[in-house]
Structure 1
Amino acid sequence: MTGSETTPSFRLAYVPGVTPTKWVRIWNERLPDVPLALVAVAVDEAFGVLRAGGADAGFVRLPVDGEDLSAIPLYTETTVVVIPKDHVIAAVEQVSAADLADELVLHPLDDTLDWEAPPGRPAIERPETTADAVELVAAGVGVLVVPQSLARLHHRRDLTYRPVSDVPESRVGLSWPQEETTDLVEEFIGIVRGRTVNSTRGRPPTPPQPKGKRAAAGGAQGKSAGGRTGGKATAGKPAGGRSGKPAGKNPRGGSGGAGAAKGGKGGAKRGKPRGR
């Protein structure tokens, strides 16, 4: 049974930092009769929502946590450090992990980066969420290393951020339950991958034309009434005679004998028959 028969609408989950606006707009243009419902989920809840059927597909942070979920990677985010605007780091364009060695680096429990060991000095307690950590940065308690989209999501006028090198990066992908790859899921995958509305995906390809077809058509037009190819024959002039005169008649009377039978050469010489 296909998705169009079982799902009256399409439910799309997304984690903080992901902005699905562009893909939703394309969906609404292409499938105006199938409403798309957005489902905001926390990073650590996204895979559970997909498995429980709370969404048909979702934008998640990779990797997925099991083989029962399919996923396609979409993009990798720049990692940045969130700092107060008057912080010394704000004076440079980019920093490295080593540059943060003396900083108190907050590490929230919902952190999306796969650290072996976070840089800098650890805080006594880990903040519950990224939003809580941002509040602490604004209060002058440490700095925060996150994907750039989260720095933008939690933007404050008194804070800024700078790219950080030599640290993990977060990958965003589209995921869905492997056993629930419905027609609507396939449609959304196509939109995310940039497939055009005229894509032939899923349609039978147009059969290739036989190589000899054009040659056969040209040969039929270029043949004289006698069955041989006339040297000056065209589609508009019959071989073996002048323009407007049928090839089967001798210009000086008599039926198309040897001149017509031999094609353009004998029958096209000023109408004079051979044998003179």
Structure 2
Amino acid sequence: MTGSDVSPSFRLAYVPGVTPTKWVRIWNERLPEIPLTLVAVPAAEACELLRGRGADAGFVRLPVDRDDLSAIPLYTETTVVVIPKDHLVAAVEEVSTEELADEIVLHPLDDTLDWEQLPGRPALERPATTADAIELVAAGVGVLVVPQSLARLHHRKDLTYRPVTDAPESRVALSWPQEETTDLVDHFIGIVRGRTVNSTRGRPLAPAQPKQKRPATGGAQRKPAATKSAGKSSRGGSGGAKGGKNPRGGSGAPKRGKPRRRS
């Protein structure tokens, strides 16, 4: 099978916490003939997946190396601290890192925040994943500072979270290999940026149908002029008798009686 025989498709990677449902739905509405495949990938491995052509584009967490990857920043997430529901911090609306100074703050190996200095006291060991750290928070071992989307992703009934006002924030971006800015990638960029279906760069990729030409004519058509006979027949009406008979008398000329004799 040659390259031209392969049906087009689009592979979209996404890191934990990102929900691409809305954009996938729009893609399926506009390009139902081109399947979109979702590829879940850990945040730390997303850029390598794109470089290895494991996906055409992906939602990643910044920063990325701009030498070989293009990126469009989309939004910045609120950073929160995940705590048990009966924790003292649960009684306030927000906290600062300074207020976490006495807490054991877990720092998983897949942490997505760019810390200059970690808040609180470090744990004896770093959890392997954010999911593992969530389990430790539920067990009362410590607290966890993460982007809000990850707190929602790992939601538990016995846990809650509060914003941390001065913690680093995580930015989500759409990224793809610079040398692979294909028509499909450009179309997905348009969807993410909110281009409408009627936008020049956001139109479906189906081949345009040729316009039908109007039949050539010698100018505007005119109604045929009425002939003299047609004019006469039209004056006679459809109820007229044949042979030119008068419609009143039924014959051509009126009949006259014989002249009376004078006495």
Give the SS at the match of 1:95. Answer: coil
Ranges in structure 2 where 5+ consecutive residues have no aligned partner = 204-263
Pick closer, same or farther for the CA change 1:4–1:196 going to 2, 3 Å.
farther
Other-structure match for 2:238: none
Identity %: 83
Distance apart, 1:65 and its partner CA: 2.8
AA in 1 matched with 2:80: V
**Counterparts of 2:7 and 2:64 in 1: how far apart (Å)?**
24
Other-structure match for 2:55: 55
Other-structure match for 2:99: 99
Other-structure match for 1:65: 65
Other-structure match for 1:90: 90
Distance apart, 1:176 and its partner CA: 0.2
The question of whether the paired residues in 1 share the 8 Å contact of 2:11 and 2:36 is answered with yes
Give the SS at the match of 1:64. Answer: coil
**Counterparts of 1:148 and 1:106 in 2: how far apart (Å)?**
16
The question of whether the paired residues in 2 share the 8 Å contact of 1:4 and 1:184 is answered with no
Other-structure match for 2:234: none
**Counterparts of 1:10 and 1:51 in 2: how far apart (Å)?**
16
Pick closer, same or farther for the CA change 1:24–1:176 going to 2, 3 Å.
same
- Let me know the Cα RMSD of the aligned residues: 1.7
AA in 2 matched with 1:100: L
Distance apart, 1:132 and its partner CA: 0.5
**Counterparts of 2:83 and 2:148 in 1: how far apart (Å)?**
13
Distance apart, 1:59 and its partner CA: 0.2
Distance apart, 1:201 and its partner CA: 3.2
- Pairs aligned (count): 201
AA in 2 matched with 1:50: L
**Counterparts of 1:4 and 1:19 in 2: how far apart (Å)?**
33
The question of whether the paired residues in 1 share the 8 Å contact of 2:75 and 2:173 is answered with yes
Pick closer, same or farther for the CA change 1:34–1:121 going to 2, 3 Å.
same
**Counterparts of 1:92 and 1:202 in 2: how far apart (Å)?**
46
| Residue 152 of structure 2 corresponds to residue 152 of structure 1 | yes
Distance apart, 1:8 and its partner CA: 1.2
AA in 1 matched with 2:200: T
Give the SS at the match of 1:136. Answer: helix
> How do 1:166-181 residues align onto structure 2 when only pairs under 5 Å count?
166-181=166-181
Give me the TM-score of the superposition, normalised by structure 2: 0.74
Pick closer, same or farther for the CA change 1:33–1:22 going to 2, 3 Å.
same
| Residue 55 of structure 2 corresponds to residue 46 of structure 1 | no
Runs of 4+ in 1 over 4 A off after TM superposition: 3-7
**Counterparts of 1:80 and 1:62 in 2: how far apart (Å)?**
18
**Which has more radius of gyration?**
2
AA in 1 matched with 2:132: D
| Residue 18 of structure 2 corresponds to residue 30 of structure 1 | no
The question of whether the paired residues in 1 share the 8 Å contact of 2:195 and 2:202 is answered with no
Other-structure match for 1:164: 164
Other-structure match for 1:141: 141
Ranges in structure 1 where 5+ consecutive residues have no aligned partner = 204-276
The question of whether the paired residues in 2 share the 8 Å contact of 1:4 and 1:183 is answered with no
AA in 2 matched with 1:129: T
Pick closer, same or farther for the CA change 1:91–1:5 going to 2, 3 Å.
farther
Give the SS at the match of 2:33. Answer: coil
> How do 1:164-243 residues align onto structure 2 when only pairs under 5 Å count?
164-201=164-201
Distance apart, 1:6 and its partner CA: 6.9
Distance apart, 1:66 and its partner CA: 4.4
Please give the per-residue CA displacement for 1:230-274, whole angstroms capped at 9, x wherever unaligned.
Answer: xxxxxxxxxxxxxxxxxxxxxxxxxxxxxxxxxxxxxxxxxxxxx
The question of whether the paired residues in 2 share the 8 Å contact of 1:28 and 1:35 is answered with yes
Pick closer, same or farther for the CA change 1:100–1:7 going to 2, 3 Å.
farther
Distance apart, 1:200 and its partner CA: 2.3
Distance apart, 1:191 and its partner CA: 0.2
**Counterparts of 2:89 and 2:122 in 1: how far apart (Å)?**
18
